[in-house]
């Protein structure tokens, strides 16, 4: 099942993102369930959130993955949505 994780950073949290970016990227690579990923950008082109497409067994696995993300553990996100997604193109 494909799940879109859409997370928006807390206001003023760019340094938290930068401080935890290396661990986050390692987590993306090592878990084996990430199909696509990249930062959301604000109107000035600064990183302000994340879009991650997870290929997991069920929503519970997606929730566990999201909770274990170093960004989440660092308190970066103001909101996180997990939405089942269907790839068309």
State the pLDDT at residue 59. 98
Continuous H helices in the chain:
14-30, 59-68, 70-73
State the pLDDT at residue 31. 97
Report pLDDT digits (tens) over 9-65: 999 999 999 999 999 999 999 999 999 999 999 999 999 999 999 999 999 999 999
Q: Please enumerate in sequence order all residues whose Cβ is within 8 A of that of 59, keeping only pairs 6 or more positions apart, or say none.
A: 1, 3, 82, 84
CATH number assigned to the domain with residue range 2-84, chosen from the 4 options 2.102.10.10, 2.30.30.100, 3.30.70.1060, 3.10.180.10:
3.30.70.1060
Strand partners, 81: 6
Q: What is the pTM of this model?
A: 0.93
Average pLDDT of span 69-84? 98
State the pLDDT at residue 15. 96
Give the H/E segment covering residue 42. none
Sign of CA dihedral 26, 73, 10, 50: positive
């Amino acid at each position: 099942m494909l799940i879109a994780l859409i997370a928006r950073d807390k206001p003023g949290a760019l340094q938290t993102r930068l401080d935890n970016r290396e661990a986050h990227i390692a987590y993306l690579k090592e878990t084996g369930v990430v199909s696509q990923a990249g930062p959301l950008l604000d109107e000035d082109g600064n990183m302000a959130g994340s879009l991650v497409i997870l290929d997991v067994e069920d929503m519970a696995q997606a929730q566990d993955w999201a909770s274990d993300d170093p960004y989440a553990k660092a308190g970066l996100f103001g909101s996180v949505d997990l939405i089942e997604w269907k790839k068309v193109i």
